[in-house]
Amino acid sequence: MAYTKRPDGRKFDELREMKAKVGVVPRADGSALFAFGDTIAIAAVYGPKPLHPQHLQNPEKGVLRVNYDMLSFSVTERKKPGPSRRSQEISKVTEWALAPALQIDNFQNTVVDVHITILQANASTRCAGINAASLALAHAGIPMTDLVSAVSIGKIDDKIVTDLIKEEEDYEDGEGATDIPLAFLSKSGQLTLLQLDGKTSTKKLKEAIEAGRAACKEIYELQKKVLKEIQEK
């Protein structure tokens, strides 16, 4: 049976209601909240600061270090506290997604720490985290060439679907669901993250990338808006 209707009534190319805010962690150098519907991420940035232990320092440029984690009660079934293999993997891919936007070559021997916490989860947590982190880095005044915008695109049966929810991630009828997290540099359009959880054809993958690019333009407009608002205060 073909996938014809989304559980929450959205169009196939429609994002959930988004929320974004900067300055949510008072003692951080920069911070932000970003939400896709029920999925809420907070990012806090500290640095640049001297990296310890010293043997990890890079004498040629600064180091970006990301820590992603979910609160124990952010999901229906309580998550075990502390780092997991999944959180370590998402921390690393988030670093890779953000790094092309940063200009920290002149901050030798230092680290920029980004702590991402998922307060509430209904799929697309890594993408919400990347969007929050990009805002928080800009809010901290870290030199950046661009903002990074991220979204999860799905292929459910033969449909390309924007901003998956958990029910769609778990869809098992027909061909099932494929989750494709994507991140782009907002102005240049450079792809900085592409992951594939499931199977799809080259044709459908190209469609997913274009759907992600279109959705990330909407996300970028919101990111730009909240940064502009705080500059005007």
Alpha-carbon separation of residue 24 from 38, 68, 94, 134, 213 (angstroms): 18, 17, 20, 14, 28
The closest alpha carbon to 151, from 133, 127, 123, 117, belongs to 127
Helix (H, G, I), strand (E, B) or coil at 34: strand
Q: Which residue has the tokens 């991140």?
A: 183
Secondary element (H or E) of residue 97:
helix 85-98
What is the per-residue pLDDT for 231? 81
23-26: long-range contacts (C-beta < 8 A, 24 or more apart)? 23/139, 23/230
What is the per-residue pLDDT for 72? 74
The rounded radius of gyration (Å) of the Cα atoms in the chain is: 18
pLDDT in tens, the chain (233 residues): 578 899 999 999 999 999 999 999 999 999 999 999 999 999 999 999 999 888 888 898 999 999 999 987 666 555 566 668 899 999 999 999 999 999 999 999 999 999 999 999 999 999 999 999 999 999 999 999 999 999 999 999 889 999 999 999 988 877 778 999 999 999 999 999 999 988 889 999 999 999 999 999 999 999 999 999 988 76
Q: Which residue has the tokens 């640049």?
A: 48
Q: What does the longest C-alpha to C-alpha distance in the chain come to?
A: 59
The closest alpha carbon to 50, from 42, 38, 58, belongs to 58
What is the per-residue pLDDT for 1? 54
Beta bridge partners of 149: 184
Secondary element (H or E) of residue 121:
none
Cα–Cα dist 213/215, whole Å: 6
Q: What length is written for the chain?
A: 233
| Predicted TM-score of the model (pTM) | 0.94
Q: Of the CATH numbers 3.50.50.60, 3.40.50.1970, 3.30.230.70, 3.40.50.720, which one belongs to the domain with range 18-232?
A: 3.30.230.70
What is the per-residue pLDDT for 85? 86
What is the per-residue pLDDT for 213? 97
